[in-house]
Amino acid sequence: MDGVWSRVLRSIYRREPVVAFVVTVGAVDAAIGGLSEHYSLLAVGLGTVSVAIALRLWQQQRRQPLEQPSRPPVHLLPDRSSSRSLPMLSMSKKQPPGRL
């Protein structure tokens, strides 16, 4: 179970690093506030987690309906260049410069 949990957390952090960080900070605040009986810190932590998840869901819903039909790509440059290609460079048979 421990391996599955770490894989899930790792995949979430890779996909949404900012949201996962904010949720982690909020969860830590909530845990510290709940265990130490500082209920204002508990409320701030739960509020932070709730706002981060709500914003992520809102962004996800906003992104989905914006799918437009795909258009063919517009190429700004021609497929082939009109100028000649450059000659191949080769090492010359000359001796390297001598050392002083």
Task: Render pLDDT for 35-45 as a digit per residue (tens, 0 to 9).
Answer: 998 999 999 99
Cα 69 to the chain's mean position, in Å? 25
Whether 86 is in a domain gets the answer no
Residue 49 has pLDDT above 90, yes or no: yes
88: left (phi over 0), alpha (psi -120 to 50) or beta: beta
Domain count, the chain: 1
Whether 85 is in a domain gets the answer no
Confidence (pTM): 0.54
Domain with 49, as residue range(s), is 17-64
Q: What pLDDT is attached to residue 74?
A: 82
In the chain, which residue ranges form alpha helices assigned H by DSSP?
2-15, 17-35, 39-63
Residue 10 has pLDDT above 60, yes or no: yes
Q: What pLDDT is attached to residue 54?
A: 92
Q: What pLDDT is attached to residue 27?
A: 92
Whether 7 is in a domain gets the answer no
Whether 11 is in a domain gets the answer no
The residue assigned the tokens 């790509």 is: 73
Query: Which position has the higher pLDDT, 98 or 17?
Result: 17
Task: Render pLDDT for 52-97 as a digit per residue (tens, 0 to 9).
Answer: 999 888 888 876 655 567 888 787 877 776 777 777 777 766 666 6
Whether 36 is in a domain gets the answer yes
Q: Which of 23, 30, 28 is nearest to 8 (CA)?
A: 23
Whether 97 is in a domain gets the answer no
